[in-house]
Amino acid sequence: MGKKKLVAGTGKLWSGRFRERTHRLVEAFTSSLAFDRRLYAYDIAGSIAHCKTLEKAGVLTRKETAAILRGLESVRGELDAGRFHFVPQDEDIHMAIERRLTQLIGPMGGKLHTGRSRNDQVALDLRLYLRDVLGLLSGRLATLQRAFVQQARTHLDVVMPGYTHLQRAQPVLLAHHLLAYVEMLERDKGRVRDALARLNVLPLGSGALAGTNYPVDRRYTAKLLGFPSVTENSLDAVADRDFVVEVLAALALVMMHLSRLSEELILWSSQEFQFVDLPDAFCTGSSMMPQKKNPDVPELLRGKTGRVYGHLLALLTTLKGLPLSYNRDLQEDKEALFDALDTVLASVEVAAELIAGLTFNRAVLAKASGSGYLLATELADYLATKGVPFREAHETTGRIVRACLDRNRDLRDLTLADLRTFSPQFEKDVLDVVTVEGAIERKAQIGGTARKRVTARIKALEGALK
Ligand code: ARG
């Protein structure tokens, strides 16, 4: 045996087997304190439940329990008030809190960590944190949905060109277009709910990796913390971060939806489209070109999407080569998760205000809906209802459009006599049937753009989002 050189005052809670103090660079390199301090309230809540569980198991006396609980409350008070003094040796929030607890109540503080590891502790903290923050996110997604529904309700009379391939295709209600985003957001909320249900499991009691020697009642801990169930495999419980991946994937999809929305707002507010005016308060000017009003907010929403996608891919990559169970690599989950959550929470919040502040240009939308051969499909369907096979009707209508293009005319410029030169099946009623309003109202099946369908959906959503 080599002689044991005592390393006094390393300040580490794990310093027992070490002969050298931690290198200053390593201290900084390994520290997660800068970002995991946001978990402090969850860490303390977890410690309180753990302490009570230890008491129930007979590991802590009543007196010890009371002292630890009181100590934890004091630490919480310091952290809440911003009075907590972190030291570089703290390494992470778990150690910081335990170090301070022991300073406050003496060596008895060291009993709190009985039967627990930072590995199951951090897995617990993340789950508690996500339960809170995902609730907040769902609320903000609902606020954004309400902004869309409100705009849809106000613009039930407005028709616009619907697009495929960014080419004018068929007329739709502006409300129908807006509600498309509400459906996307509904699925986004569903994904958040699914992720929440799967992560709502207590990992504490898994120890470092193998479980715990102490007769703790894990179901009791779960009950104290509001978890419906406990993890069934200790190795999995400390090594698993798939719940963080699921959350990041759900966040990436939220951003994808916001990004598509942003792209439309950027296009629609351009001089080329002029479908919509963005609120001045959401735009910026140019320092050089006095006429400019730039759509910075949707641009940033679109831009931040890449950042959130990046976090998802970063964590997937971090996880792919890790042997069981805990590895320090897992500490990298937090900055990705926190930044993605901060980004998405802010994005959804600002998007809701932006949508509520949009002014649609009714005249421009009406004009755009009346031109561009948007009714060509209606004309083909008209012939089909007169018994012409749809393929033939399509071909005939195509020739009509071609002729109009050649003569620089629009479909609505054609008279019945003009139409009959293409097909004898055209009758007087064609001029009443083939209209923008008719085109809208005939799309009357579930999911179609007919006004009564859209109105019904608005009503249902208003009820559900109350
Ligand atoms: N800061 C660590 C993390 O975020 C906590 C767990 C540390 N565990 C360990 N065995 N070093 O993952």
pLDDT digits 0-9 by tens, 68-85: 999 999 999 999 999 999
pLDDT in tens, 194-211: 999 999 999 999 999 999
What value does the mean pLDDT of the chain take? 95
Cα dihedral 412→418→419→422 (10° resolution) = -140
CA 326 to ligand 1 centroid distance, Å: 8
User: Element (H or E) spanning 346, and its range?
Assistant: helix 333-356
Share of the chain above pLDDT 70, in %: 98
Please report the pLDDT score of residue 10 as a whole number. 60
Q: Which residue has the tokens 């529904």?
A: 149
If one counts every other C-beta atom within 10 angstroms of the C-beta of residue 165, the result is 6
State the pTM of this model.
Answer: 0.94
> Ligand 1: does its nearest atom lie under 6 Å from the Cβ of 39?
no
CA angle 154, 158, 163 (to 5 degrees): 120
Which residues have C-beta within 8 Å of that of residue 292, sequence separation ≥ 6? 285, 286
- Alpha-carbon distance of 205 to 212, in angstroms, equals 6
Measured in Å, how far apart are the chain's first and last C-alpha atoms?
A: 72
Give the residue whose CA is nearest to atom 7 of ligand 1: 118
Residue 58 near residue 215 (C-beta atoms within 8 A): yes
Which phi and psi angles does 293 have, rounded to 5°? -135, 105
pLDDT in tens, 144-192: 999 999 999 999 999 999 999 999 999 999 999 999 999 999 999 999 9
> Ligand 1: does its nearest atom lie under 6 Å from the Cβ of 239?
no
At residue 363, does pLDDT exceed 90?
yes
> Ligand 1: does its nearest atom lie under 6 Å from the Cβ of 119?
yes
CA 77 to ligand 1 centroid distance, Å: 24
Please report the pLDDT score of residue 235 as a whole number. 98
- Alpha-carbon distance of 403 to 399, in angstroms, equals 6
At residue 12, does pLDDT exceed 90?
no
Which residues have C-beta within 8 Å of that of residue 243, sequence separation ≥ 6? 126, 127, 130, 195, 198, 199
Residue 181 near residue 263 (C-beta atoms within 8 A): no
Which residues have C-beta within 8 Å of that of residue 429, sequence separation ≥ 6? none
User: Element (H or E) spanning 350, and its range?
Assistant: helix 333-356
Residue 287's SS3 state is coil
Strand partners, 360: 276
| Domains of the chain as residue ranges with CATH | 22-114 (1.10.275.10), 119-367 (1.20.200.10), 370-464 (1.10.40.30)
> Ligand 1: does its nearest atom lie under 6 Å from the Cβ of 449?
no
